[in-house]
Amino acid sequence: MARHGSITNAQVRKILGVDSVDARTILQRLVRAGILEQRGQRGGAQYVLAPRAAAPVRVRPAHEELEKIVLDLARRGPVTNRLVREHAHLDRTEALNLLRSLVAKGRLVREGSRRGARYRLPRRPR
C-alpha cells in the first residue's frame, strides 16, 4: 500500500493468506474504523488511507526521558549529535541543546569541537 497508495481484496488475500470473504471483512472493518476509504465497487474496489488516518502524531518524551536516552547511549561509548538525533528523534539543534544541558549539569563531558565533538560520561575519581 505504501508503494502504490492503495490495496485491493486480492492483495490482502495474498499478503495475509486468507480467502476473499476474510479479506473483505478485514477491509470493511478498517473502513468502518475510519482507517481506510473504499474507492469503487465489487471487483474493482480499491482501498486507500483515509485522510484522518495519516501518519500518527509522535509524542515527544519528557526532557528527563531524553536525558536518560542520551546517558544510556553514553554508557555504551562516545555519543555524537547524530547518534542522539537517531535515538531520540530530535533535529540537530534540539540534540545539541540537550547535549549542552547535560554538559552544563556535569553529566557529560565534551571532547572535540564542531562536527568532531564527542560526548562521554565524566571519569570517576579514584
Within a domain: residue 20? yes
Distant-in-sequence, close-in-space partners of 34: CB < 8 Å, separation ≥ 6: 50, 52, 53
Within a domain: residue 22? yes
| Together in a domain, 40 and 83 | no
Residue 81: per-residue pLDDT: 95
pLDDT digits (tens, 9 = 90+) for 103-123: 999 999 999 988 889 999 998
Question: In which band, very low, low, confident or very high, does the pLDDT at 2 lie, cut at 50, 70 and 90?
Answer: very low
| Together in a domain, 72 and 107 | yes
| Together in a domain, 67 and 108 | yes
Residue 91 grid cell? 533535529
Residue 53: per-residue pLDDT: 66
Whole domain around residue 18: which residue ranges?
A: 9-53
CB-count exposure of residue 108 (10 Å: 0-12, 13-18, 19+): buried
| Together in a domain, 69 and 97 | yes
pLDDT digits (tens, 9 = 90+) for 10-51: 999 999 999 999 999 999 999 988 889 999 887 789 999 888
Within a domain: residue 25? yes
Within a domain: residue 2? no
Cα separations in angstroms, 18 against 1, 9, 10, 107, 108: 17, 10, 10, 54, 53
CB 47 within 8 A of CB 39: yes
Domain count for the chain, please give it: 2
